[in-house]
Structure 1
Amino acid sequence: MRRALAGSIALAVGAAPIGVFLLLRRMSLSGDAMAHAILPGAAFGFLVAGLDLVAMTLGGLAAGLLVALLAGLVTRTTILREDASLASFYLISLALGVLLVSLRGSSVDLMHVLFGTVLALNPDALVFIAGVATATLVMLALIWRPLVLECVDPGFLRVVSGTGGTIHTVFIVLVVLNLVAGFQALGTLLSVGIMMLPAASARFWVREVSMMALVAMGIAAVSAWLGLVLSYHLALPSGPAIILVAGAIHIASILFGAVGGLLPRLLPVAHRTG
């Protein structure tokens, strides 16, 4: 439980700010597609070395970056838009990954790859997740301003500095890295949940991007802690419990959020007179 909590909080700290930028760039579903895209690489690593951290991590990273590269290439050279090309490749990746795992593994192995085993995190996986979180925060600190500018006006960034393509590439690498780190704990199907749900919730509470990232990290960390506590006391699967807690916080944010929440918008606003 201690390792699961440490790994989940490290994952929350690194993945939640990435989710905020995916949200701002209107790439939320792209994050989900990328999460599925890492599956065949992780499955290939499983075929080669079994449930080995290094093999599955390298395989997942390679597959995620390859799908992102192919989707971008198809978008630039054909009439297909980026969301459609990503959807196409992620469906192919998902089917291929399930097939590869099924060739050698059992249904238990398939569930491990798809949904993760956060309570089984070993020291190597914990170090890897913490390393990805640290690298993500350092890189975000270095590219924060151009990344925010690219979310607002990517054309202006290309004209002014010509670094738009580089910033976009670095960001995609960070997305894949955090999804691969999340895969160690939550599996390929749930890893995007700790990235996107807290970010979407934070959008209902604050407007400024840096505050949104901080709130998202806080929500993700609370979701990890409360999900693990509930899974322990109620004998629930830990990964789904974490994501369901994040989902409950998201629904509460939709209802009560100070920025665009349903109830604050419906309540009458008191006007001062005098």
Structure 2
Amino acid sequence: MMWTLLVTPFTEFAFMQRALAGALMLSLSACPVGVFLTLRRMSLTGDAMAHAILPGAAAGFLIFGLEIWPMTLGGLIAGALVALGAGAVARLTVQHEDASMAAFYLISLSVGVVMVSLRGSSVDLMHVLFGTVLALDDAALLLIGLVLAVTALAFCVLWRALVAECLDPLFLRSVSGWGTVVHFAFLGLVVLNLVAGFQALGTLLSVGLMILPAAAARFWTQSVLPMVALAVGIGALSSASGLLLSYHLSLPSGPAITLSAGAAYLLSVIFAPRGLLVPRLPRRSHRTA
């Protein structure tokens, strides 16, 4: 019975195998990026960037239809422009980066929805906004795999600088001239992983697999490397359980994955060592005779 519920869907159906492979690769790639977003208190920046890629993806859709590479390239260009524009406004004016990022992403989201609506149907709009993880093809899996490889290489090269910037960005800038470079390189990784998740989870939900497992992992440990490993594990488990819920209950696959990650987050909030319940439990005092 348990085998039929948990394993059979992935052994009998090729579309479930592709969906699981894509979601697991996204977990390996996006969840570590989400950990650094949460540590840098930039979680909402990730959400803003997820909306910012929409106009570029919509432009690719208008010209080429639902083709992955044009939409991916358009999303990368749009995300990079928004990140650079918001950063420039924050550094050259009195406005803080969170406000400029919010302004840019609201404009981008509105422009993207209008662009998709000009040519596509409501079905196309839903595909762009919420993704189709059960329809991943070889091109989509190749894209996700490439982004995973680039992300892994970037973390190997930039790991110490990223950790230092999370702990004390002013110190990194004072001892090295690479602070700004590391910051924008990290934003580039955010955009890359959001674009990779775009085909599977859509522009509105691709950030969910990035942020929710990372936010959940932070309740269990304070060390960065264990936090990354735990976030990847939570992301992988959420992906598999979300796909199973989608298969057995006929739910939309992207929202089901995000809801599974949300459930892991809520359980961590309540039961984790750094959550609501455990720190408030009475502790036994050890008395010596």
Q: Which amino acid letter does the alignment assign opposite residue 86 of structure 1?
A: M
For residues 246 and 82 of structure 2, the distance between their equivalents in structure 1, rounded to whole angstroms, comes to: 34
2:123 aligned with 1:82: no
Q: Which residue of 2 aligns with 1:162?
A: 177
1:62 Cα deviation (Å)? 0.3
Q: Which residue of 1 aligns with 2:232?
A: 217
Kindly, what percent of the aligned residue pairs are identical? 63
1:155 Cα deviation (Å)? 1.2
2:287 aligned with 1:273: yes
Q: Which residue of 2 aligns with 1:207?
A: 222
The TM-score normalised by the length of structure 2 is 0.94
Which among 42, 64, 68 is matched to residue 49 of structure 1? 64
1:79 Cα deviation (Å)? 1.1
Describe the superposition over 1:198-250 as per-residue Cα deviations: whole angstroms up to 9, x where unpaired: 00000011110011000000000000000001111111111100000000010
1:57 Cα deviation (Å)? 0.2
Q: Which amino acid letter does the alignment assign opposite residue 61 of structure 1?
A: L
1:184 Cα deviation (Å)? 1.1
- In structure 2, list runs of 5 or more residues that go unmatched: 1-15
For residues 269 and 172 of structure 2, the distance between their equivalents in structure 1, rounded to whole angstroms, comes to: 33
Q: Which amino acid letter does the alignment assign opposite residue 202 of structure 1?
A: A
Which among 255, 262, 269 is matched to residue 276 of structure 2? 262
Q: Which residue of 1 aligns with 2:85?
A: 70
1:135 Cα deviation (Å)? 1.3
Q: Which amino acid letter does the alignment assign opposite residue 123 of structure 1?
A: D
1:142 Cα deviation (Å)? 1.1
2:18 aligned with 1:3: yes
1:36 Cα deviation (Å)? 0.1
Q: Map of 1:165-176 to 2, 5 A cutoff?
A: 165-176=180-191
Return structure 1 stretches of 4+ with deviation > 4 angstroms.
none
Q: Map of 1:1-274 to 2, 5 A cutoff?
A: 1-258=16-273, 260-274=274-288
Q: Which residue of 1 aligns with 2:10?
A: none
1:266 Cα deviation (Å)? 1.6
1:42 Cα deviation (Å)? 0.2
The TM-score normalised by the length of structure 1 is 0.99
Q: Which amino acid letter does the alignment assign opposite residue 41 of structure 1?
A: G
Q: Which amino acid letter does the alignment assign opposite residue 54 of structure 1?
A: W
1:7 Cα deviation (Å)? 0.2
Partner SS state of residue 277, structure 2: helix
Partner SS state of residue 262, structure 1: coil
Partner SS state of residue 212, structure 1: helix
1:162 Cα deviation (Å)? 1.1
Q: Which amino acid letter does the alignment assign opposite residue 183 of structure 2?
A: H
For residues 188 and 136 of structure 2, the distance between their equivalents in structure 1, rounded to whole angstroms, comes to: 23
Aligned-residue RMSD, C-alpha: 0.6
For residues 234 and 184 of structure 1, the distance between their equivalents in structure 2, rounded to whole angstroms, comes to: 22
For residues 286 and 242 of structure 2, the distance between their equivalents in structure 1, rounded to whole angstroms, comes to: 43
1:38 Cα deviation (Å)? 0.1
Q: Which amino acid letter does the alignment assign opposite residue 28 of structure 1?
A: S
For residues 261 and 272 of structure 1, the distance between their equivalents in structure 2, rounded to whole angstroms, comes to: 24
For residues 271 and 99 of structure 1, the distance between their equivalents in structure 2, rounded to whole angstroms, comes to: 63
1:134 Cα deviation (Å)? 1.7
Equivalent residue pairs, number: 273
